[in-house]
Amino acid sequence: MSGTREAATKILAAHGIDPDTSDTSDASSEEEVSKLLDSIRDGAWLDGQHFPPLRYAVDGLLPEGAALLIGPPKAGKSWLVLDVLLAVASGGRALGALAVGAPRRVLYLAMEDGDRRMQDRCRTLLGDDPIPERFHYVTDVEPMLVRPLLDAFLDRYPDTVLVVVDTLGKVMPPARPGESAYSRDYRVMGHLKGVSDDHPGLSVTVIHHDRKAASEDFIDSVSGTHGLAGAADTIIVLARKRQSDDAVLKVTGRDVPEEEYALKMRDGVWTLDGSTLTDAAAQVRQRADAAELGEKSVAILDYVRQHHEGVRARDVAEEFGGDAHQYLKRLMESGRLIRLVRGLYAAADVPVSEPSEVSEPNEAPCIGCGGPLDPVHAAQGETTHPGCDPAARPRKEA
């Protein structure tokens, strides 16, 4: 047996294929191996490809692919996704702020609702506007019929851009004999991900409950095994305390930046706490600061964050009073501020302008020796260096 034939036989056998050992099977065995290797691509092929840009149901938040939306029961997950669905279907603004473009078709598997509740919620969210024609929904489908239903709908309406399954528990099939919990979770989520993979540009979002146990990593809040999170392209967690109208939307994924966005609820309607995702991310930080810092510290920190090129200590003192240097020092010690150069401060969580755009601050001179004062000392009202005698400073001749 030739080396090539022997290698082909081993490869086929490893995959459960029983190659014919007759002399006439050499070509067929090698042909099977060739088919296996044909799936391997090289850098030259990849470098020559031109892929279409990634498409979003909601720009920056919900890209094509499979997403998991996680949150505790009765936290408002269904209200959140319905707002997004109606915005996409009508061409409005998701969460009251995020433009979604022209009207596009959506499908909602609302397995915990009925027609009356669906109508009431749509009218609450839309006000006097009609329920958009491109909004489709179903309230009852057997777990084993979910994929056939989605395939049939997408064949009829290939322009669909968003499908929401609410909830995973309603469509989760029983485990197969001998199947582990992880294997079942990965299989089911992978099955739903396959729907988006088969339809480029489609976002499939699946709602699921969180774990009761607290975790530092919000991905660990997904109820069930890591098979669910592992199969998903995007993970979104709605974090909200009971009796609170404020929430945080925590997002991570293969095609979205990992970030947290502030939300607020008014009369059952979720809105972004800010006019953009950037503003909402900043609002999350401000909420955290307000919970840990005093009012003046929060105000100074917000003031510094507004100056991406850095802010001078004396400018802070002029704005907030002579004791501002104490607050700057505490904010530096807590890691919220950094010192770019002497007397120039910036927020640690805000990108700073290029060094060429940041100039050495023009400190007030010491009236004793004429050298520059530290801006922090100047902010305290000091006019000389320790040990300098103003009277000893040489006078300029007229």
Could you report the per-residue pLDDT of 313-361, keeping only the tens digit for each?
888 888 888 888 888 888 888 888 888 888 888 888 877 765 444 444 4
Tokens of 90: 């009508």
Looking at the predicted structure, is the pLDDT value of residue 223 above 60?
no
Residue 6, class by beta-carbon neighbours within 10 Å (0-12 exposed, 13-18 middle, 19+ buried)? exposed
Strand order in the sheet with 337-341: 311-312, 344-347, 337-341
Tell me what the mean pLDDT of segment 370-379 comes to.
Answer: 57
pLDDT of 18: 62
Looking at the predicted structure, is the pLDDT value of residue 375 above 60?
no
Domain boundaries of the chain, sorted by first residue: 3-47, 56-288, 293-391
Cβ atoms 170, 111 nearer than 8 A: yes
Listed in sequence order, the DSSP H helices in the chain are 3-14, 26-37, 43-47, 77-90, 115-126, 146-156, 168-171, 181-197, 226-231, 277-292, 295-305, 313-320, 324-333, 375-379
Cβ atoms 223, 208 nearer than 8 A: yes
Compute the mean pLDDT over every residue in the chain, rounded to the nearest whole number: 82
- What is the SS3 string spanning 42-94? CHHHHHCCCCCCCCEEECCCEECEEEEEEECCCCCHHHHHHHHHHHHHHCCEE
Architecture label for domain 293-391: Orthogonal Bundle (1.10)
Q: How confident is the model at residue 236 (pLDDT cuts 50, 70, 90)?
A: very high
pLDDT of 303: 87
pLDDT of 287: 87
pLDDT of 139: 95
Looking at the predicted structure, is the pLDDT value of residue 377 above 90?
no
1 versus 114: the higher-pLDDT residue is 114
CA dist., res. 60 & res. 174, Å (int): 35
pLDDT of 116: 96
Looking at the predicted structure, is the pLDDT value of residue 204 above 80?
yes
| Range with the poorest average pLDDT among 36-50, 118-132, 382-396 | 382-396
**Same fold yes or no, 56-288 and 293-391:** no
| Range with the poorest average pLDDT among 70-84, 334-348, 363-377 | 363-377
CATH class of 56-288: alpha beta
Cβ atoms 89, 122 nearer than 8 A: no
Q: How confident is the model at residue 49 (pLDDT cuts 50, 70, 90)?
A: very high
354 versus 67: the higher-pLDDT residue is 67
Would the pTM count as exceeding 0.95?
no
Tell me what the mean pLDDT of segment 227-247 comes to.
Answer: 87
pLDDT tens, position by position, 126-143: 999 999 999 999 999 998
Cβ atoms 141, 171 nearer than 8 A: yes
